[in-house]
């Protein structure tokens, strides 16, 4: 008769307390199958907070097979390039109407077709109070009234926003990316005003879109209870300037306590607010700072940029140049909210960076124009950085620079570089110290240029990648010339769960529709995978693989 472990005899209250300190996956993986009592406890008492973003497919499959939809309290799904078709796969396994205890739902990179199927069933989720839709495409507004209190929308016109607000009368928190095209300004907010209860509004005017006039006054009329307003402006857009902002706030937003601004453009809108007016400085103590610098726009072009912002900083992204001129001195710790820093090293002068800027909590660092070596430790906490990108065509002192970076970035696990830069970093893969650090730390590698075959003595690029990264690499994004290179990678990188392969369709002996079938025949573990094959043009295609085991 098998002996029962002491752990299996623990009271249910103690087990439940232990579960609170672990993720859903760790809890299920560690305790599922020990005995019937614990399995019953896992099924009946554990509340699941599921974040499937960038998750290996094997973990995703295990969780989906181990829980019931009634257990799910919060759910984050993503159809990003590293987890293609995840949303479809999840709702093929679970009926959304059975997720009756779901309170938070976040869907990233979802397309409108999948969203419409989900939106039609949202009325079954009576406990749902938070919905986040982050997509670069338009998504249809819901048509049934909802009890949502928090809403995040990826891309939205003023007319679509009006439809959303009509169906969400209990909304308190709204974040939206507003866009418009060269068409007549929509009058929906003026013709059909809405008395919303929104307390916090974050409006983002994103890049890449043609954004003419916005009738912000009509929008503000609907939000008289607003207490916190954040405006992030990343494009040329005709918004109120100067004293008109003062008048709009005084007239329509009398309960506004906190105004946060980020305006980053080429200087035409630098007068968007009067930074020194008594309204901003004395009445509300909303201090707006100004940076200006020359920003690179390509190999031979640049423009003078203006960056206006309030502190604490209202966005996670920050662009900093060594040529930055700051009109106001700030505290170093004022930039602790920034997660993604874009650093343009276009001069040898850096003392003002150390004096005025410090970034203690960066998640990613992207470096442009790496033409001179400057010390980063004085204004960047390198130990927190997880993702490092070196933009292509940098003229760099690779060994000295990367020795410093890699020695101090102890949490670095993601690297995006050109093939040329990678060979410079490693001195053609002969620097054992650098290769050892890359082998130990890097789990995600993105090579953003075309591989070129080396001579037989030095070996092929694929062979070098396998030699360094085969042990730990989980995600890869690269260009290949022949699909046999893909086979070689997949055969030798056993931990790989995501691959983005760029290829030239004209160079392939296999038809595009047969690529995945051919790969599945060669690599058995690809049979449990999802994929997307995207043809950009006759000379460029992308194959996205989410690989199971």
What's the whole-number mean pLDDT along residues 391-400? Answer: 63
* Strand extents, DSSP E, 345-489: 364-368, 387-390, 414-417, 444-447, 475-479
pLDDT at residue 132 is higher than 80: yes
CA pair distance 458, 473, nearest whole angstrom: 22
Most trustworthy range by pLDDT among 26-35, 36-45, 341-350, 364-373:
26-35
pLDDT in tens, 69-101: 999 999 999 999 999 999 999 999 999 999 999
pLDDT at residue 277 is higher than 80: no
DSSP for 1-49 reads -PPPPSGGGS-HHHHHHHHTTS-HHHHHHHHTTS-HHHHHHHHHHPPEE
Binned at pLDDT 50, 70 and 90, residue 300 comes out as very low
Please report the pLDDT score of residue 56 as a whole number: 95
Please report the pLDDT score of residue 242 as a whole number: 65
**Can you give the pTM of this predicted structure?**
0.89
Please report the pLDDT score of residue 239 as a whole number: 67
pLDDT in tens, 137-183: 888 898 888 999 999 998 888 888 999 999 999 999 999 998 875 44
52 or 506: which leads in pLDDT: 52
With the C-alpha atoms ordered 224, 226, 229, 234, is the resulting torsion angle positive or negative? negative
pLDDT at residue 284 is higher than 90: no
What's the whole-number mean pLDDT along residues 413-435? Answer: 87
pLDDT at residue 52 is higher than 70: yes
31 or 63: which leads in pLDDT: 63
What's the whole-number mean pLDDT along residues 269-292? Answer: 73
Please report the pLDDT score of residue 266 as a whole number: 65
DSSP 359: B
pLDDT at residue 454 is higher than 60: no
Residue 295: CB atoms within 10 Å: 22
- Average confidence score pLDDT of the chain: 83
In the chain, pLDDT over 70 holds for what percent of residues? 84
The helix, strand and coil proportions of the chain, stated in percent and rounded to the nearest 5, come to 30, 25, 45
pLDDT at residue 200 is higher than 80: yes
pLDDT at residue 191 is higher than 90: no
What's the whole-number mean pLDDT along residues 52-72? Answer: 94
Binned at pLDDT 50, 70 and 90, residue 308 comes out as confident
103 or 514: which leads in pLDDT: 103
Please report the pLDDT score of residue 1 as a whole number: 42
The answer to whether 50 and 76 are in contact (CB under 8 A) is: yes
Task: Compute the radius of gyration of the chain from its Cα atoms.
Answer: 26
pLDDT in tens, 10-27: 777 787 788 888 888 888
The answer to whether 105 and 130 are in contact (CB under 8 A) is: yes
Please report the pLDDT score of residue 480 as a whole number: 86
CA pair distance 405, 380, nearest whole angstrom: 11
Please report the pLDDT score of residue 301 as a whole number: 45
Q: Residue 343 belongs to what H/E stretch?
A: strand 340-344
Identify the CA nearest to 322 among candidates 383, 364, 370, 382.
Answer: 370
DSSP for 117-172 reads HHHTTGGG-TT--EEEEEEEEE-PPP-S----SEEEEEEE-HHHHHHHHHT-TT--
């Amino acid at each position: 008769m098998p002996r029962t472990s002491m752990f299996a005899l623990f009271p249910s209250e103690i087990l439940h307390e232990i579960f609170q300190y672990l993720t859903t996956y760790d809890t299920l993986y560690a305790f599922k199958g020990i005995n019937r009592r614990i399995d019953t406890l896992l099924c009946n008492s554990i509340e699941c907070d599921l974040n499937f973003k960038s998750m290996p497919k094997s973990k995703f499959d295990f969780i989906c097979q181990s829980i019931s939809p009634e257990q799910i309290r919060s759910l984050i799904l993503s159809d990003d390039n590293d987890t293609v078709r995840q949303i479809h796969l999840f709702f093929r396994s679970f009926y959304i109407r059975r997720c009756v205890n779901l309170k938070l739902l976040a869907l990233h990179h979802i397309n409108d077709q999948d969203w419409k199927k989900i939106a039609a069933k949202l009325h079954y989720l009576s406990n749902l109070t938070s919905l986040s839709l982050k997509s670069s495409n338009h998504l249809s507004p819901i048509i049934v009234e909802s009890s949502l209190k928090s809403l995040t929308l990826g891309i939205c016109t003023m007319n679509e926003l009006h439809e959303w607000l009509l169906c969400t009368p209990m909304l308190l928190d709204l974040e939206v990316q507003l866009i418009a095209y060269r068409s007549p300004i929509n009058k929906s907010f003026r013709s059909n005003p809405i008395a919303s209860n929104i307390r916090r509004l974050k409006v983002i005017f994103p890049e890449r879109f043609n954004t003419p006039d916005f009738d912000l006054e009509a929008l503000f009329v609907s939000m008289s209870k607003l207490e916190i307003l954040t405006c992030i402006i990343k494009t040329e857009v005709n918004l109120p300037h100067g004293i008109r902002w003062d008048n709009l706030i005084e007239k329509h937003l009398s309960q506004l306590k906190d105004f946060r601004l980020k305006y980053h453009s080429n200087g035409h809108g630098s007068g968007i607010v009067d930074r020194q007016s008594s309204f901003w400085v004395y009445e509300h103590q909303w201090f707006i700072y100004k940076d200006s610098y020359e920003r690179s726009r390509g190999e031979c072009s640049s423009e003078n940029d203006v960056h206006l912002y309030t502190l604490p900083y209202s966005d996670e992204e920050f662009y900093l140049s060594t040529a930055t001129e700051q009109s106001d001195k700030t505290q170093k710790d004022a930039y602790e909210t920034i997660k993604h820093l874009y650093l343009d090293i276009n001069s040898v002068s850096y003392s003002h960076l150390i004096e005025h800027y410090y970034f203690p909590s960066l998640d990613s660092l992207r470096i442009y124009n790496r033409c001179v070596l400057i010390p980063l430790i004085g204004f960047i906490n390198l130990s927190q950085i997880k993702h490092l990108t070196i933009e292509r065509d940098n003229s760099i002192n690779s060994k000295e620079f990367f020795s410093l970076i890699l020695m101090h970035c102890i949490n670095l696990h993601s690297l995006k570089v050109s093939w040329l830069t990678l060979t410079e970093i490693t001195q053609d893969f002969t620097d054992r110290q650098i290769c050892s650090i890359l082998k130990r730390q890097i789990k995600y590698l993105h090579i953003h240029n075309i591989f070129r075959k080396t001579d037989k003595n030095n070996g092929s690029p694929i062979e070098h990648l396998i030699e360094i990264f085969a042990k730990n690499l989980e995600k890869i994004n690269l260009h290949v010339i022949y699909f046999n290179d893909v086979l070689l990678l997949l055969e030798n990188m056993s931990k790989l769960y995501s691959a983005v392969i760029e290829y030239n369709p004209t160079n392939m002996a296999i038809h595009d529709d047969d690529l995945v079938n051919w790969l599945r025949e060669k690599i058995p573990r690809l049979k449990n995978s999802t994929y997307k094959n995207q043809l950009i043009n006759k000379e460029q295609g992308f194959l996205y693989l989410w690989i199971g085991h």
